[in-house]
Structure 1
Amino acid sequence: MAITKRQLPSFFRFPKNPSLSQRLMVIGIAITLFFLFLAFFAPIFQAWGWLQNPEQCPVDNPVQAAPSAKYWFGTSRLGCDIFSRTVFGVQAALQVVILATALSMVIGVPLGMVSGYLGGNLDKVLLFLMDSIYTLPGLLLSVTLAFVVGRGILNAAIAISIAYIPQYYRVVRNHTVSVKTEVFIEAAQAMGASTWTVLSRYLFFNVIQSVPVLFTLNAADAILVLGGLGFLGLGLPEQVPEWGRDLKEALGDPSLGIWWTTLFPGLALTLMVVGLSLLGEGLNEFVNPRLRRQNTIRK
Protein backbone atom coordinates (compact mmCIF):
# COMPACT_ATOMS: atom_id res chain seq x y z
CA MET A 1 0.00 0.00 0.00
CA ALA A 2 1.41 3.38 -1.01
CA ILE A 3 2.25 5.83 1.77
CA THR A 4 0.31 9.05 1.44
CA LYS A 5 1.52 12.47 2.55
CA ARG A 6 -0.74 12.38 5.62
CA GLN A 7 0.87 9.12 6.75
CA LEU A 8 4.40 10.48 6.67
CA PRO A 9 5.97 11.52 9.98
CA SER A 10 5.83 15.26 10.62
CA PHE A 11 9.62 15.52 10.17
CA PHE A 12 9.24 14.65 6.46
CA ARG A 13 6.27 16.90 5.78
CA PHE A 14 6.88 20.36 4.39
CA PRO A 15 4.23 22.78 5.70
CA LYS A 16 1.79 24.36 3.28
CA ASN A 17 2.63 27.85 4.53
CA PRO A 18 6.29 27.65 5.57
CA SER A 19 7.73 30.41 7.72
CA LEU A 20 10.59 32.59 6.57
CA SER A 21 13.09 30.59 8.64
CA GLN A 22 11.85 27.35 7.07
CA ARG A 23 12.30 28.79 3.58
CA LEU A 24 15.78 29.96 4.50
CA MET A 25 16.60 26.50 5.88
CA VAL A 26 15.66 24.98 2.51
CA ILE A 27 18.04 27.43 0.84
CA GLY A 28 20.73 26.48 3.36
CA ILE A 29 20.20 22.78 2.69
CA ALA A 30 20.44 23.36 -1.06
CA ILE A 31 23.68 25.34 -0.75
CA THR A 32 25.21 22.79 1.61
CA LEU A 33 24.26 19.86 -0.63
CA PHE A 34 25.73 21.72 -3.62
CA PHE A 35 29.11 22.04 -1.90
CA LEU A 36 28.98 18.42 -0.75
CA PHE A 37 28.31 17.44 -4.37
CA LEU A 38 31.35 19.41 -5.54
CA ALA A 39 33.59 17.91 -2.85
CA PHE A 40 32.53 14.35 -3.68
CA PHE A 41 32.67 14.59 -7.47
CA ALA A 42 35.73 16.84 -7.85
CA PRO A 43 38.15 13.89 -8.39
CA ILE A 44 35.73 12.40 -10.93
CA PHE A 45 35.50 15.72 -12.79
CA GLN A 46 39.30 15.86 -12.82
CA ALA A 47 39.50 12.32 -14.24
CA TRP A 48 37.10 13.38 -17.00
CA GLY A 49 39.34 16.34 -17.83
CA TRP A 50 36.94 19.01 -16.62
CA LEU A 51 39.30 20.15 -13.86
CA GLN A 52 43.05 20.63 -13.78
CA ASN A 53 45.36 19.45 -11.04
CA PRO A 54 44.84 22.13 -8.37
CA GLU A 55 48.24 21.49 -6.77
CA GLN A 56 50.15 22.34 -9.94
CA CYS A 57 50.04 25.30 -12.30
CA PRO A 58 50.58 24.08 -15.90
CA VAL A 59 53.34 26.03 -17.66
CA ASP A 60 51.20 26.35 -20.79
CA ASN A 61 48.40 28.17 -18.92
CA PRO A 62 48.26 31.93 -19.52
CA VAL A 63 49.00 34.14 -16.53
CA GLN A 64 46.12 36.17 -15.05
CA ALA A 65 43.82 35.31 -17.95
CA ALA A 66 40.28 36.66 -17.63
CA PRO A 67 37.35 34.25 -17.31
CA SER A 68 36.58 32.55 -20.62
CA ALA A 69 35.08 29.41 -22.10
CA LYS A 70 38.35 27.56 -21.45
CA TYR A 71 39.12 29.05 -18.04
CA TRP A 72 35.73 29.64 -16.42
CA PHE A 73 37.09 31.56 -13.42
CA GLY A 74 40.27 32.77 -15.12
CA THR A 75 43.83 32.07 -14.01
CA SER A 76 46.04 33.40 -11.23
CA ARG A 77 49.35 35.23 -11.40
CA LEU A 78 51.06 31.80 -11.42
CA GLY A 79 48.84 30.44 -14.18
CA CYS A 80 46.73 28.21 -11.90
CA ASP A 81 43.19 27.50 -13.01
CA ILE A 82 41.06 29.31 -10.41
CA PHE A 83 37.98 27.19 -11.13
CA SER A 84 39.88 23.98 -10.31
CA ARG A 85 41.39 25.43 -7.14
CA THR A 86 38.02 26.79 -6.01
CA VAL A 87 36.25 23.46 -6.50
CA PHE A 88 38.98 21.42 -4.82
CA GLY A 89 39.08 24.01 -2.05
CA VAL A 90 35.67 22.69 -1.00
CA GLN A 91 37.26 19.34 -0.18
CA ALA A 92 39.95 20.88 1.98
CA ALA A 93 37.48 23.13 3.79
CA LEU A 94 35.03 20.30 4.52
CA GLN A 95 37.75 17.95 5.76
CA VAL A 96 39.10 20.51 8.23
CA VAL A 97 35.67 21.75 9.33
CA ILE A 98 34.18 18.29 9.89
CA LEU A 99 37.26 17.15 11.81
CA ALA A 100 37.36 20.33 13.92
CA THR A 101 33.69 20.31 14.88
CA ALA A 102 33.70 16.55 15.46
CA LEU A 103 36.74 16.78 17.76
CA SER A 104 35.22 19.60 19.79
CA MET A 105 31.91 17.73 20.05
CA VAL A 106 33.52 14.43 21.07
CA ILE A 107 35.45 16.19 23.84
CA GLY A 108 32.91 18.82 24.93
CA VAL A 109 29.77 16.67 25.15
CA PRO A 110 31.14 13.97 27.53
CA LEU A 111 32.86 16.58 29.69
CA GLY A 112 29.62 18.55 29.96
CA MET A 113 27.60 15.47 30.93
CA VAL A 114 30.09 14.27 33.54
CA SER A 115 30.57 17.76 34.97
CA GLY A 116 26.87 18.51 35.21
CA TYR A 117 25.92 15.12 36.62
CA LEU A 118 28.68 14.64 39.20
CA GLY A 119 29.06 18.29 40.24
CA GLY A 120 31.40 19.03 43.13
CA ASN A 121 35.01 20.11 42.71
CA LEU A 122 35.28 18.46 39.29
CA ASP A 123 32.45 20.64 38.03
CA LYS A 124 34.05 23.78 39.47
CA VAL A 125 37.44 23.04 37.90
CA LEU A 126 36.02 22.18 34.48
CA LEU A 127 33.71 25.18 34.54
CA PHE A 128 36.60 27.51 35.37
CA LEU A 129 38.77 25.96 32.66
CA MET A 130 36.07 26.14 29.98
CA ASP A 131 35.11 29.69 30.90
CA SER A 132 38.77 30.69 30.65
CA ILE A 133 39.02 29.24 27.14
CA TYR A 134 35.66 30.73 26.16
CA THR A 135 36.79 34.25 27.01
CA LEU A 136 39.60 34.09 24.43
CA PRO A 137 38.82 35.19 20.86
CA GLY A 138 38.41 32.06 18.73
CA LEU A 139 40.55 33.23 15.82
CA LEU A 140 43.36 34.43 18.10
CA LEU A 141 43.35 31.11 19.95
CA SER A 142 43.40 29.15 16.68
CA VAL A 143 46.26 31.26 15.31
CA THR A 144 48.29 30.70 18.47
CA LEU A 145 47.73 26.94 18.38
CA ALA A 146 48.46 26.82 14.64
CA PHE A 147 51.92 28.24 15.36
CA VAL A 148 52.47 25.35 17.78
CA VAL A 149 51.05 22.38 15.86
CA GLY A 150 52.03 23.53 12.35
CA ARG A 151 50.28 23.11 9.02
CA GLY A 152 48.15 20.23 7.83
CA ILE A 153 44.51 19.17 7.72
CA LEU A 154 44.59 17.42 11.11
CA ASN A 155 46.72 20.15 12.71
CA ALA A 156 44.41 22.89 11.45
CA ALA A 157 41.41 20.95 12.75
CA ILE A 158 43.01 20.63 16.18
CA ALA A 159 43.88 24.34 16.27
CA ILE A 160 40.32 25.30 15.37
CA SER A 161 38.51 22.74 17.54
CA ILE A 162 39.85 23.97 20.89
CA ALA A 163 37.82 27.17 20.67
CA TYR A 164 34.52 25.26 20.27
CA ILE A 165 34.90 22.74 23.10
CA PRO A 166 33.58 25.18 25.76
CA GLN A 167 30.42 25.79 23.72
CA TYR A 168 29.49 22.10 23.69
CA TYR A 169 30.51 21.80 27.33
CA ARG A 170 28.36 24.71 28.50
CA VAL A 171 25.25 23.71 26.54
CA VAL A 172 25.37 20.03 27.54
CA ARG A 173 26.30 20.79 31.16
CA ASN A 174 23.37 23.16 31.61
CA HIS A 175 20.95 20.62 30.13
CA THR A 176 22.41 17.88 32.33
CA VAL A 177 22.00 19.96 35.49
CA SER A 178 18.31 20.53 34.68
CA VAL A 179 17.59 16.94 33.60
CA LYS A 180 19.38 15.07 36.41
CA THR A 181 16.68 16.09 38.90
CA GLU A 182 13.90 14.51 36.80
CA VAL A 183 11.94 11.60 38.25
CA PHE A 184 13.21 9.01 35.78
CA ILE A 185 16.83 9.81 36.67
CA GLU A 186 16.12 9.52 40.38
CA ALA A 187 14.28 6.23 39.77
CA ALA A 188 17.28 4.83 37.88
CA GLN A 189 19.59 5.86 40.71
CA ALA A 190 17.28 4.28 43.27
CA MET A 191 17.36 1.00 41.36
CA GLY A 192 21.15 0.97 41.60
CA ALA A 193 22.03 2.06 38.06
CA SER A 194 25.71 2.93 37.69
CA THR A 195 26.92 6.39 36.71
CA TRP A 196 27.82 5.13 33.23
CA THR A 197 24.36 3.61 32.77
CA VAL A 198 22.62 6.81 33.82
CA LEU A 199 24.82 8.95 31.58
CA SER A 200 24.62 6.74 28.49
CA ARG A 201 21.07 5.41 28.73
CA TYR A 202 19.03 8.09 30.45
CA LEU A 203 20.86 11.41 30.13
CA PHE A 204 22.57 11.34 26.76
CA PHE A 205 19.52 11.44 24.49
CA ASN A 206 17.85 14.05 26.68
CA VAL A 207 20.68 16.60 26.62
CA ILE A 208 21.88 16.56 23.01
CA GLN A 209 18.93 18.27 21.33
CA SER A 210 20.92 21.44 20.66
CA VAL A 211 24.14 19.69 19.61
CA PRO A 212 23.26 19.36 15.88
CA VAL A 213 22.42 23.07 15.76
CA LEU A 214 25.68 23.95 17.49
CA PHE A 215 27.58 21.60 15.18
CA THR A 216 26.21 23.34 12.07
CA LEU A 217 26.81 26.87 13.33
CA ASN A 218 30.32 25.99 14.49
CA ALA A 219 31.04 24.51 11.06
CA ALA A 220 30.10 27.83 9.45
CA ASP A 221 32.34 29.72 11.87
CA ALA A 222 35.17 27.20 11.40
CA ILE A 223 35.22 27.94 7.67
CA LEU A 224 35.87 31.61 8.43
CA VAL A 225 38.59 30.68 10.93
CA LEU A 226 40.22 28.36 8.40
CA GLY A 227 40.09 31.16 5.85
CA GLY A 228 41.81 33.44 8.36
CA LEU A 229 44.51 30.86 9.04
CA GLY A 230 45.07 30.40 5.32
CA PHE A 231 45.26 34.16 4.81
CA LEU A 232 47.97 34.32 7.48
CA GLY A 233 49.82 31.36 5.95
CA LEU A 234 49.10 29.07 8.92
CA GLY A 235 46.47 26.74 7.47
CA LEU A 236 47.16 23.93 5.04
CA PRO A 237 50.35 23.07 3.12
CA GLU A 238 51.06 25.34 0.17
CA GLN A 239 50.23 22.75 -2.48
CA VAL A 240 46.74 22.12 -1.06
CA PRO A 241 44.08 24.44 -2.55
CA GLU A 242 42.79 26.77 0.15
CA TRP A 243 40.52 29.77 -0.29
CA GLY A 244 42.16 31.89 2.41
CA ARG A 245 45.65 31.56 0.96
CA ASP A 246 44.35 32.16 -2.58
CA LEU A 247 42.80 35.42 -1.37
CA LYS A 248 46.07 36.44 0.23
CA GLU A 249 48.08 35.77 -2.93
CA ALA A 250 45.62 37.81 -5.00
CA LEU A 251 45.29 40.66 -2.51
CA GLY A 252 46.74 43.31 -4.82
CA ASP A 253 45.09 42.10 -8.03
CA PRO A 254 41.78 44.06 -7.83
CA SER A 255 43.66 47.38 -7.82
CA LEU A 256 45.12 46.32 -11.19
CA GLY A 257 41.71 45.42 -12.62
CA ILE A 258 42.22 41.68 -12.08
CA TRP A 259 39.03 41.09 -10.10
CA TRP A 260 38.47 37.40 -10.75
CA THR A 261 41.36 36.10 -8.64
CA THR A 262 39.67 37.31 -5.44
CA LEU A 263 35.99 37.20 -6.43
CA PHE A 264 35.51 33.47 -6.91
CA PRO A 265 37.41 32.12 -3.85
CA GLY A 266 35.79 34.79 -1.71
CA LEU A 267 32.34 34.03 -3.12
CA ALA A 268 32.76 30.30 -2.49
CA LEU A 269 33.81 30.93 1.12
CA THR A 270 30.89 33.31 1.69
CA LEU A 271 28.28 31.01 0.13
CA MET A 272 29.42 28.03 2.17
CA VAL A 273 29.23 30.03 5.40
CA VAL A 274 25.79 31.39 4.50
CA GLY A 275 24.48 27.92 3.62
CA LEU A 276 25.61 26.34 6.88
CA SER A 277 24.37 29.33 8.90
CA LEU A 278 20.90 29.16 7.34
CA LEU A 279 20.82 25.41 7.93
CA GLY A 280 21.80 25.89 11.57
CA GLU A 281 19.17 28.56 12.19
CA GLY A 282 16.50 26.36 10.63
CA LEU A 283 17.54 23.41 12.79
CA ASN A 284 17.42 25.67 15.83
CA GLU A 285 13.76 26.44 15.16
CA PHE A 286 13.03 22.75 14.62
CA VAL A 287 14.52 21.62 17.94
CA ASN A 288 13.32 24.66 19.91
CA PRO A 289 9.54 24.53 20.49
CA ARG A 290 9.48 28.16 21.64
CA LEU A 291 10.74 29.39 18.28
CA ARG A 292 8.20 27.27 16.43
CA ARG A 293 5.43 28.64 18.63
CA GLN A 294 6.55 32.23 18.04
CA ASN A 295 6.56 31.76 14.27
CA THR A 296 3.10 30.19 14.43
CA ILE A 297 1.76 33.15 16.40
CA ARG A 298 3.26 35.63 13.91
CA LYS A 299 1.36 33.93 11.10
Structure 2
Amino acid sequence: MMTTSIRLPRQFRLTLSQSLTLIGLTITLSFIAIAFLAPTLQNIGWLQDPNEALANPIHEAPGADYWFGTTRQGYDVFARTLFGTQAALKVVVLATTLSLIIGVPLGLVSGYLGGKIDKVLIFFMDTIYTLPGLLLSVTLAFVVGQGVINAAIALSIAYIPQYYRIVRNHTTSVKTELFIEAAQAMGAPTSRILTRYLFFNVIQSVPVLFTLNAADAILILGGLGFLGLGLPPEVPEWGHDLRLALDALPLGIWWSATFPGLAMTILVTGLSLVGEGLGDMLNPGRKNN
Protein backbone atom coordinates (compact mmCIF):
# COMPACT_ATOMS: atom_id res chain seq x y z
CA MET A 1 0.00 0.00 0.00
CA MET A 2 1.50 3.28 -1.10
CA THR A 3 1.35 6.34 1.09
CA THR A 4 1.65 9.87 -0.11
CA SER A 5 2.72 12.86 1.92
CA ILE A 6 1.22 16.28 1.42
CA ARG A 7 3.89 18.95 1.22
CA LEU A 8 2.81 22.52 1.81
CA PRO A 9 4.05 25.22 -0.58
CA ARG A 10 7.21 26.86 0.70
CA GLN A 11 5.61 30.32 0.84
CA PHE A 12 2.75 29.03 3.02
CA ARG A 13 5.16 27.23 5.35
CA LEU A 14 7.16 30.40 5.88
CA THR A 15 4.02 32.40 6.59
CA LEU A 16 2.86 29.81 9.11
CA SER A 17 6.26 29.87 10.83
CA GLN A 18 6.23 33.65 11.03
CA SER A 19 2.68 33.64 12.40
CA LEU A 20 3.56 31.16 15.13
CA THR A 21 6.62 33.23 16.03
CA LEU A 22 4.47 36.35 16.30
CA ILE A 23 2.01 34.50 18.53
CA GLY A 24 4.84 33.28 20.76
CA LEU A 25 6.37 36.76 20.95
CA THR A 26 2.99 38.29 21.85
CA ILE A 27 2.48 35.73 24.64
CA THR A 28 5.98 36.26 26.02
CA LEU A 29 5.75 40.07 25.96
CA SER A 30 2.33 39.89 27.61
CA PHE A 31 3.75 37.91 30.52
CA ILE A 32 6.67 40.34 30.81
CA ALA A 33 4.18 43.21 30.97
CA ILE A 34 2.20 41.37 33.66
CA ALA A 35 5.35 40.88 35.72
CA PHE A 36 6.10 44.62 35.62
CA LEU A 37 2.52 45.78 36.19
CA ALA A 38 1.57 43.44 39.07
CA PRO A 39 3.17 45.56 41.87
CA THR A 40 1.68 48.75 40.42
CA LEU A 41 -1.80 47.21 40.26
CA GLN A 42 -1.45 46.19 43.89
CA ASN A 43 -0.29 49.64 44.98
CA ILE A 44 -3.29 51.36 43.40
CA GLY A 45 -5.68 48.85 44.94
CA TRP A 46 -6.66 46.99 41.77
CA LEU A 47 -4.98 43.78 42.87
CA GLN A 48 -5.15 41.90 46.14
CA ASP A 49 -2.01 41.26 48.20
CA PRO A 50 -1.00 37.72 47.13
CA ASN A 51 0.04 36.87 50.70
CA GLU A 52 -3.04 38.32 52.39
CA ALA A 53 -5.64 35.69 53.22
CA LEU A 54 -9.33 36.38 53.69
CA ALA A 55 -10.45 37.10 57.25
CA ASN A 56 -12.59 33.96 57.02
CA PRO A 57 -10.58 31.59 54.83
CA ILE A 58 -13.53 30.02 53.02
CA HIS A 59 -12.71 29.29 49.41
CA GLU A 60 -14.56 31.37 46.84
CA ALA A 61 -15.30 30.17 43.32
CA PRO A 62 -14.29 32.39 40.37
CA GLY A 63 -16.65 35.33 40.10
CA ALA A 64 -16.96 39.10 40.10
CA ASP A 65 -15.19 39.57 43.44
CA TYR A 66 -12.38 37.09 42.78
CA TRP A 67 -11.86 36.48 39.09
CA PHE A 68 -9.85 33.28 39.58
CA GLY A 69 -11.44 32.41 42.92
CA THR A 70 -9.57 31.91 46.18
CA THR A 71 -7.53 29.02 47.51
CA ARG A 72 -8.50 26.78 50.37
CA GLN A 73 -6.29 28.95 52.58
CA GLY A 74 -8.13 32.11 51.46
CA TYR A 75 -5.57 33.61 49.05
CA ASP A 76 -6.59 35.37 45.84
CA VAL A 77 -5.65 33.03 42.97
CA PHE A 78 -5.63 35.88 40.43
CA ALA A 79 -3.13 37.90 42.48
CA ARG A 80 -0.90 34.90 43.13
CA THR A 81 -0.94 33.92 39.46
CA LEU A 82 0.10 37.40 38.35
CA PHE A 83 2.83 37.71 40.97
CA GLY A 84 3.93 34.18 40.14
CA THR A 85 4.77 35.47 36.67
CA GLN A 86 7.18 37.97 38.20
CA ALA A 87 8.91 35.32 40.32
CA ALA A 88 9.21 32.89 37.39
CA LEU A 89 10.69 35.45 35.01
CA LYS A 90 13.19 36.71 37.59
CA VAL A 91 14.59 33.24 38.24
CA VAL A 92 14.53 32.16 34.60
CA VAL A 93 16.25 35.29 33.25
CA LEU A 94 18.94 35.05 35.92
CA ALA A 95 19.46 31.32 35.35
CA THR A 96 19.67 31.43 31.55
CA THR A 97 21.84 34.56 31.55
CA LEU A 98 24.25 33.08 34.09
CA SER A 99 24.57 29.83 32.15
CA LEU A 100 25.15 31.77 28.92
CA ILE A 101 27.83 34.01 30.49
CA ILE A 102 29.73 30.95 31.74
CA GLY A 103 29.06 28.43 28.98
CA VAL A 104 29.84 30.58 25.92
CA PRO A 105 33.37 31.70 26.96
CA LEU A 106 34.24 28.16 28.07
CA GLY A 107 33.11 26.81 24.71
CA LEU A 108 35.16 29.41 22.85
CA VAL A 109 38.35 28.74 24.82
CA SER A 110 37.93 24.97 24.73
CA GLY A 111 37.21 24.79 21.01
CA TYR A 112 39.98 27.18 20.00
CA LEU A 113 42.82 26.05 22.26
CA GLY A 114 42.06 22.31 22.30
CA GLY A 115 44.57 20.10 24.08
CA LYS A 116 44.31 19.22 27.77
CA ILE A 117 42.01 22.16 28.55
CA ASP A 118 39.57 20.91 25.94
CA LYS A 119 39.65 17.33 27.25
CA VAL A 120 39.13 18.36 30.88
CA LEU A 121 36.24 20.67 30.03
CA ILE A 122 34.62 18.04 27.80
CA PHE A 123 34.82 15.51 30.64
CA PHE A 124 33.17 17.81 33.18
CA MET A 125 30.56 19.17 30.80
CA ASP A 126 29.58 15.73 29.53
CA THR A 127 29.25 14.51 33.11
CA ILE A 128 26.85 17.33 33.95
CA TYR A 129 25.03 16.97 30.62
CA THR A 130 24.20 13.31 31.21
CA LEU A 131 22.25 14.15 34.38
CA PRO A 132 18.54 14.98 33.97
CA GLY A 133 17.96 18.71 34.44
CA LEU A 134 15.29 18.35 37.11
CA LEU A 135 17.28 15.79 39.10
CA LEU A 136 20.41 17.96 39.01
CA SER A 137 18.44 21.07 39.97
CA VAL A 138 16.76 19.27 42.88
CA THR A 139 20.13 18.07 44.15
CA LEU A 140 21.66 21.54 43.89
CA ALA A 141 18.60 23.13 45.51
CA PHE A 142 19.19 20.96 48.57
CA VAL A 143 22.74 22.35 48.74
CA VAL A 144 22.19 26.05 48.04
CA GLY A 145 18.77 26.41 49.69
CA GLN A 146 15.73 28.50 48.75
CA GLY A 147 15.66 31.96 47.21
CA VAL A 148 15.62 33.67 43.83
CA ILE A 149 19.42 33.74 43.45
CA ASN A 150 19.85 30.20 44.78
CA ALA A 151 17.16 28.81 42.49
CA ALA A 152 18.77 30.58 39.52
CA ILE A 153 22.16 29.04 40.40
CA ALA A 154 20.63 25.58 40.70
CA LEU A 155 18.99 25.92 37.29
CA SER A 156 21.93 27.55 35.51
CA ILE A 157 24.39 24.75 36.21
CA ALA A 158 22.15 22.35 34.30
CA TYR A 159 22.27 24.60 31.20
CA ILE A 160 25.95 25.56 31.10
CA PRO A 161 26.98 22.37 29.23
CA GLN A 162 24.46 23.10 26.48
CA TYR A 163 25.99 26.49 25.70
CA TYR A 164 29.46 25.02 26.03
CA ARG A 165 28.80 22.16 23.61
CA ILE A 166 27.15 24.20 20.88
CA VAL A 167 29.76 27.01 20.97
CA ARG A 168 32.70 24.60 21.19
CA ASN A 169 31.48 22.60 18.17
CA HIS A 170 31.07 25.75 16.08
CA THR A 171 34.43 27.07 17.24
CA THR A 172 36.30 23.92 16.19
CA SER A 173 34.81 24.33 12.70
CA VAL A 174 35.34 28.07 12.31
CA LYS A 175 38.92 28.16 13.65
CA THR A 176 40.17 26.40 10.50
CA GLU A 177 38.76 29.13 8.24
CA LEU A 178 41.17 31.29 6.25
CA PHE A 179 40.33 34.54 8.08
CA ILE A 180 41.29 32.94 11.39
CA GLU A 181 44.55 31.62 9.96
CA ALA A 182 45.25 35.09 8.53
CA ALA A 183 44.70 36.67 11.95
CA GLN A 184 47.05 34.15 13.52
CA ALA A 185 49.70 34.80 10.85
CA MET A 186 49.47 38.53 11.54
CA GLY A 187 50.21 37.88 15.21
CA ALA A 188 46.78 38.75 16.61
CA PRO A 189 46.58 37.78 20.31
CA THR A 190 44.32 34.90 21.33
CA SER A 191 41.97 37.19 23.23
CA ARG A 192 41.38 39.30 20.12
CA ILE A 193 40.80 36.27 17.91
CA LEU A 194 38.27 34.89 20.39
CA THR A 195 36.34 38.11 20.89
CA ARG A 196 36.57 39.75 17.48
CA TYR A 197 36.83 36.96 14.93
CA LEU A 198 35.31 33.87 16.53
CA PHE A 199 32.62 35.11 18.89
CA PHE A 200 30.23 36.63 16.34
CA ASN A 201 30.68 33.67 13.98
CA VAL A 202 29.73 30.95 16.47
CA ILE A 203 26.80 32.39 18.42
CA GLN A 204 24.07 32.07 15.78
CA SER A 205 22.32 29.31 17.71
CA VAL A 206 22.75 30.85 21.16
CA PRO A 207 19.57 33.02 21.05
CA VAL A 208 17.54 29.95 20.08
CA LEU A 209 19.05 27.92 22.90
CA PHE A 210 18.51 30.80 25.34
CA THR A 211 14.79 30.94 24.56
CA LEU A 212 14.24 27.19 24.67
CA ASN A 213 16.19 26.93 27.93
CA ALA A 214 13.98 29.65 29.39
CA ALA A 215 10.91 27.57 28.54
CA ASP A 216 12.47 24.50 30.09
CA ALA A 217 13.53 26.46 33.18
CA ILE A 218 9.91 27.51 33.78
CA LEU A 219 8.95 23.85 34.07
CA ILE A 220 11.92 22.90 36.25
CA LEU A 221 11.29 25.86 38.56
CA GLY A 222 7.69 24.71 38.83
CA GLY A 223 8.94 21.25 39.74
CA LEU A 224 11.22 22.67 42.42
CA GLY A 225 8.36 24.72 43.83
CA PHE A 226 6.08 21.69 43.82
CA LEU A 227 8.69 19.81 45.86
CA GLY A 228 9.12 22.76 48.22
CA LEU A 229 12.69 23.46 47.08
CA GLY A 230 12.35 26.55 44.90
CA LEU A 231 11.42 29.90 46.40
CA PRO A 232 10.45 30.68 50.01
CA PRO A 233 6.76 30.05 50.82
CA GLU A 234 6.03 33.76 51.11
CA VAL A 235 6.98 34.31 47.44
CA PRO A 236 4.05 33.54 45.07
CA GLU A 237 5.25 30.83 42.72
CA TRP A 238 3.26 28.59 40.39
CA GLY A 239 4.82 25.29 41.42
CA HIS A 240 4.31 26.03 45.11
CA ASP A 241 0.68 26.96 44.46
CA LEU A 242 0.12 23.71 42.58
CA ARG A 243 1.47 21.84 45.57
CA LEU A 244 -0.96 23.62 47.91
CA ALA A 245 -3.80 22.91 45.49
CA LEU A 246 -3.38 19.14 45.76
CA ASP A 247 -5.39 18.95 48.98
CA ALA A 248 -8.07 21.20 47.51
CA LEU A 249 -8.81 19.16 44.38
CA PRO A 250 -10.78 16.41 46.20
CA LEU A 251 -12.97 19.17 47.64
CA GLY A 252 -13.85 20.44 44.17
CA ILE A 253 -11.65 23.53 44.36
CA TRP A 254 -10.36 23.04 40.82
CA TRP A 255 -9.52 26.68 40.17
CA SER A 256 -6.65 26.87 42.66
CA ALA A 257 -4.62 24.50 40.46
CA THR A 258 -6.08 25.33 37.04
CA PHE A 259 -5.00 28.94 36.67
CA PRO A 260 -1.36 28.64 37.87
CA GLY A 261 -1.04 25.53 35.69
CA LEU A 262 -2.48 27.34 32.67
CA ALA A 263 -0.17 30.31 33.20
CA MET A 264 2.86 28.02 33.27
CA THR A 265 1.70 26.14 30.17
CA ILE A 266 0.94 29.27 28.15
CA LEU A 267 4.26 30.95 28.97
CA VAL A 268 6.22 27.80 28.12
CA THR A 269 4.32 27.53 24.82
CA GLY A 270 5.04 31.17 23.98
CA LEU A 271 8.76 30.84 24.68
CA SER A 272 8.95 27.61 22.68
CA LEU A 273 7.28 29.26 19.67
CA VAL A 274 9.74 32.16 19.84
CA GLY A 275 12.64 29.70 20.03
CA GLU A 276 11.43 27.76 17.01
CA GLY A 277 10.89 30.99 15.08
CA LEU A 278 14.39 32.21 15.89
CA GLY A 279 15.71 28.86 14.74
CA ASP A 280 14.06 29.32 11.35
CA MET A 281 15.33 32.88 10.99
CA LEU A 282 18.92 32.20 12.08
CA ASN A 283 19.22 28.84 10.28
CA PRO A 284 17.49 29.29 6.91
CA GLY A 285 18.29 25.69 5.93
CA ARG A 286 15.67 24.45 8.40
CA LYS A 287 12.91 26.05 6.36
CA ASN A 288 13.55 23.81 3.40
CA ASN A 289 13.27 20.57 5.35
Please say whether Structure 1 and Structure 2 have the same fold, judged by a TM-score greater than 0.5. yes
Secondary structure of the corresponding residue to residue 116 of structure 2: helix
Aligned to 2:86: 91
Query: Which whole-Å CA distance do the structure 1 matches of 2:50 and 2:23 have between them?
Result: 29
- Give, as a single letter, the amino acid of the residue that structure 1 aligns with 2:32: L
Residues 257-281 of structure 1 deviation map (CA, whole Å, 9 limit, x = unaligned): 1110110000001001000001101
- Tell me the residue number matched to 1:297: none
Per the normalisation by structure 1, the TM-score is 0.91
1:57 aligns with 53
Whole-Å Cα distance in 2 between the matches of residues 136 and 264 of structure 1? 31
1:94-243 to structure 2, matched below 5 A, reads 94-243=89-238
Residue of structure 2 equivalent to 1:26: 22
By how many angstroms is 1:18 displaced?
A: 4.2
Give TM-score scaled by structure 2 length: 0.94
2:112 and 2:171 in contact (8 A); partners too: yes
Unaligned runs of 5+ in 1: 1-14, 295-299
Counterpart CA distance in 1 for 2:76 and 2:151 is: 25
Q: Which residue of 2 aligns with 1:10?
A: none
**Superposed CA RMSD:** 1.3
Provide, for residues 40-98 of structure 1, a one-character-per-residue CA deviation record: whole Å limited to 9, x for no partner: 111111122111111232425x5211001110000011111000000000000000000
Contact 1:96/1:153 (8 A) holds in 2: yes
- Other-structure match for 1:256: 251
Deviation of the 1:17 alpha carbon:
7.7
Contact 2:72–2:253 (8 Å) recurs in 1? no
Pairs aligned (count): 279
The question of whether the paired residues in 2 share the 8 Å contact of 1:72 and 1:83 is answered with yes
**Contact map agreement 2:14 2:287 (CA 8 A) in 1:** no
Alpha-carbon separation, structure 1, partners of 2:52 and 2:180: 59
Structure 1 residue 274 corresponds to structure 2 residue 269: yes
Letter in 2 for 1:40: F
Kindly indicate whether the alpha-carbon contact (under 8 Å) linking 1:56 and 1:239 is maintained by their aligned counterparts in 2: no
1:67 match: secondary structure:
coil
Unaligned runs of 5+ in 2: 1-10
Judged with a 3 Å threshold, the aligned counterparts in structure 2 of structure 1 residues 16 and 48 are, in CA distance, closer, same or farther, namely farther
Deviations 1:210-267 (A, max 9, x none): 0000000000000000000000000001100000010001113222211101100000
Structure 1 residue 22: Cα displacement: 1.8
The one-letter code matched in structure 2 to 1:51 is L
CA contact (8 A) 2:71 2:253 kept: no
In the other structure, the counterpart of 2:64 is 69
Aligned-partner residue type, residue 193 of structure 2: V
Q: C-alpha displacement at 1:16, in angstroms? A: 8.8
CA distance in 1: counterparts of 2:186 and 2:202, whole angstroms = 22
Q: Shift in Å at residue 19 of structure 1?
A: 3.0
Cα distance in 2 for partners of 1:185, 1:58 equals: 66
Q: State the one-letter code of the partner of 1:212.
A: P
